[in-house]
Structure 1
Amino acid sequence: MVKIGNITLPDFPLLLAPMEDVSDPPFRAVCKDNGVDLMYTEFISSEGLIRDAIKSRQKLDIFDYERPIGIQIFGGDEEAMALSAKIVETVQPDLVDINFGCPVKKVVSKGAGAGVLKDVDLMVRLTEAVVRSTSLPVTVKTRLGWDDNSRNIEEVAERLQDTGIKALSIHGRTRSQMYKGEADWTLIAAVKNNPRIHIPIFGNGDIDSPQKALAYKNRYGVDGIMIGRAAIGYPWIFREIKHYVETGAMPEPPTVEERVAVCKKHLVKSVEWKGPIVGINEMRRHYANYLKGLPGIKEYRNRLVTLKEVEEIEAVLDEILDNYKDAIIERTAIELVNYHEKCPV
C-alpha cells in the first residue's frame, strides 16, 4: 500500500493529472469509472479564490464518489497561498496539492507554477505557508527544474520533504522544454532512490500505454504514475494499465458501445455541471479521441462539433453506434493531444 498522510492507496497507484480545462468533474467521473486511484481538480488560482472569482470557486466542486481527491492551488504569494489553503479546506478534500509545474507563460510571468522553479527558497516558503495553514495532507507537483542548467529536482525534493509535504509528483521535463522532447525519468528515479526520501514519489510524463507504464514501473521504481494527456478521450487507459501490470496481458480494447456510452455520460455530466451552452461547447475537444480509429469517422466528428442540443448529439452518437457496432478498434498506443496552451501536467 502507498500512504499519503491518512490516505491509503493500492500498490502502484494511478493518478489523474490536474489539467486546466480538462480535469473537471465530468471528466473525472468517467476516469473514476475506469479505475483511477487518485484525482486532482484543475489548478486553482490562490488570488482568484481570495477574490471570490466565480471560475475559481466553481473548481472547488468535488463529490464523494471521486474520493480520494485533491484540490490543486497555485500562486506566488505566501499569504495568499496560506489563505487559499484554508478556503480549500472548507470543502473537505482529501488533500491539498501545490502546482509548481505549469509552464504556461501567463502563469509563469506571475511568479507562479513553474516560475517558482527559479527561486527554490520561495518554493520552500510557499510550501511551508500551505503546510502550516491546513490540517490536510499537502502534496506538490513540479518539474525537473527551470532549464537544462538548473535540473535541481534532487535538492528540491529534499527541501520540500523537510517542509512536511506527504508526496511529490515529478514531471520529467524542465520548464523550458514545455511539452516537447522526451521526458527524462532518470532524475525521477534518482529522487526515489535517495535514502533521505521517505515520501511517495510519483512519476509523470509520456506514459501513453500499459506496456510503457509497466516498463517505467520496473525501470525507475516509482511509487506510482500520474497520467494526463493520454487519458483525454480515453479513460480506459487506467483499467488497461492495471490489467497489464497484474497479468502481463493486454485487455480487450473498449467496444464501440463502450466508447459511445462513456461519451454520452461525459456529455450529460458536462451539461449538468456547466450548463447547456458551455457544457456542449467544451465537450467538443473530447469527441476526436473518443471516436479515434473508426474508419471514416471525420464526417461524424465534424457534425458533432457543430451541434448545439444534447438530443442532436446523442442521435449522431447512436448513428455511429449503429454503423460501427461490429467494428474492433485495435489500440497499440494513444496519440497524445497537445494542450500546449493549457496546463496538462
Structure 2
Amino acid sequence: MSAPTAVRPLRIGPFVSETPVVLAPMAGITNAGFRRLCREQGAGFYVCEMITSRGLVERNPLTFRMIAMDPDEHPRSMQLYGVDPAAMGQAVRIIVEQDLADHIDMNFGCPVPKVTRRGGGAALPFKRRLFERIVRAAVENAGPIPVTVKMRIGIDDAHHTYLDAGRIAADAGVAAVALHARTAAQRYSGTADWSAIARLRDALPAELPVLGNGDIFSAADALAMVSSTGCDGVVVGRGCLGRPWLFGDLEAAFAGRELPEPPSLGQVAATMRRHAVLLQEHMGPDKGIRDMRKHIAWYLKGFPVGSDLRRRLGLVNSLDELDELLTHLDLEHPFPADADGPRGRQGSAGRVVLPEHWLDDPEDPSVPFGAELEHSGG
C-alpha cells in the first residue's frame, strides 16, 4: 500500500504533522488518557473533548478538569462549542491569557438534540451571519493561536450549509476546515458522502487545508478518501474506538510504508491494560477503571470471547481484576479478518430538533434565546 503523492504534511498554523491525521473530539472518550494512548501509536493532531465557551467563562470546575493536558502534549488542541459571539470571544481570550491551548477547534458539527435545539452544533451554520460573528470572534481574539472549524454537510438534505460556511470561515481567517460528510439528520447512520468533501476542497483556497471526516475505519479508507476527494488530511472518530493502533497504521500508510501486522488478542489485551492505566492516572483508580468498561466491547469486537467473560470484563472494578480476567483470553488468537468496521454511535437518521422558527431567516444574526443559559462543561 503506497501513500498518495498529493498528500503533504498537515500544517495548522505554525504546527506541522508529517502524518495528515486529526483525532476527532468525542464526548466521554478523548480525555487526556485516551489521547496519550493514541499519541503513543502514531503522529497527528489529538483534540480534547468538546467544552463550552460558557463553561470557560464561568470557570466551571468540570470544564477545567476536561481540558487537562499531559505535560508532553503538543500541540495542545482544544475544541470549543458556543452560540454567542461575545461568550466565544471571551472564552478564547481566557485560553490565550492563561495559556490553556495551542490550537482551538470550533464545533459546528454536533447533531445531538440537546445541542441543536439551542441552535448549536450542526444547526448553527444555517444562520450565516451568526456563524460568521462567532468564527470571527474566535479568530480575532486568538492572536497567534490557530483556529479551525469542524462542521457537517448541513441540517438535512434540504438545508445544506457546508459550502457557504466553508467560505465564511476561510474569509474569517481560520487555519483549516474539516467536514464530516453527513447531515445532522443522518447523525452517524448510513454512509458518509465523500463527494461533498471534494466539492468543499474545490470551493476553498488551495492553501487552506480541508480535512475529511466520516467512515475512516482503516488505513485503506483514509487513503481512499484522500485519493477520491483531494482533501489535505483525515479526521478519525469512531474508527479508533477499541483500535488506537489505527494511528500507527495511518502513519505507515501515508508514509508509503508497509502496514504493521494486525495485533493478536494478546497484544490487544496489553493495549487494553495500558489504556486502563492511563485512565486511572488521569481520573483516579475508581473512576478510571469504570470509564474503561465502555471500551471493552470495542476492543474485543470480532474476537472469540465467551459471553460470560465479556460480561465480567464489562463490569471490572480494579486493575488487579482486569489483569486476572485477561488471563482467560486466548492470547495467541490472531486478529479476525472481519473485526474492523463501524463502532460506537450509529443509530438511525431522524428529524433534527431546532429552535422555533430557526429556518425562517438564515441571515438573522440573533443569538437564540436561552442558548447560553447552561454552563455545562461538555
**TM-score, normalized by length of structure 1?**
0.92
Aligned letter for 1:312?
E
> Residue 8 of structure 1 corresponds to which residue in structure 2?
16
For residue 165 of structure 1, give the secondary structure of its aligned residue in structure 2.
coil
For residue 154 of structure 2, give the secondary structure of its aligned residue in structure 1.
coil
1:216-254 CA-to-partner distances (Å, cap 9, x unmatched) read 111111100011001011111121233234447543101
> Residue 48 of structure 1 corresponds to which residue in structure 2?
55
2:332 equivalent to 1:326: yes
2:65 equivalent to 1:66: no
**d(CA) in 2 for partners of 1:256 and 1:195?**
44
**d(CA) in 1 for partners of 2:187 and 2:140?**
31
2:313 equivalent to 1:315: no
Tell me how far 1:127 sits from its aligned partner.
0.5
Tell me how far 1:340 sits from its aligned partner.
5.6
1:116 pairs, out of 124, 128, 131, with: 124
Tell me how far 1:313 sits from its aligned partner.
1.5
For residue 192 of structure 1, give the secondary structure of its aligned residue in structure 2.
helix
Any residues of structure 2 matched to 1:241-256 within 5 Å, and which?
Answer: 241-247=250-256, 249-256=258-265
> Residue 131 of structure 1 corresponds to which residue in structure 2?
139
Any residues of structure 2 matched to 1:1-345 within 5 Å, and which?
Answer: 1-10=9-18, 13-89=20-96, 90-135=98-143, 136-194=145-203, 196-247=205-256, 249-320=258-329, 324-332=330-338, 334-339=340-345
**d(CA) in 2 for partners of 1:252 and 1:332?**
15
For residue 169 of structure 1, give the secondary structure of its aligned residue in structure 2.
strand
**d(CA) in 1 for partners of 2:155 and 2:58?**
29
Aligned letter for 1:186?
S
**d(CA) in 1 for partners of 2:264 and 2:333?**
8
RMSD: 1.9
Aligned letter for 2:342?
L
**Contact 1:37/1:68 (<8 A) preserved:** no
**TM-score, normalized by length of structure 2?**
0.84
Aligned length: 337
**d(CA) in 1 for partners of 2:300 and 2:338?**
15
More helix by share: 1
**Contact 1:60/1:88 (<8 A) preserved:** no
Mark the runs of 5 or more structure 2 residues left unpaired by the alignment.
1-8, 348-378
Aligned letter for 1:58?
R
**d(CA) in 2 for partners of 1:306 and 1:57?**
29
Tell me how far 1:59 sits from its aligned partner.
1.3
Tell me how far 1:66 sits from its aligned partner.
2.7
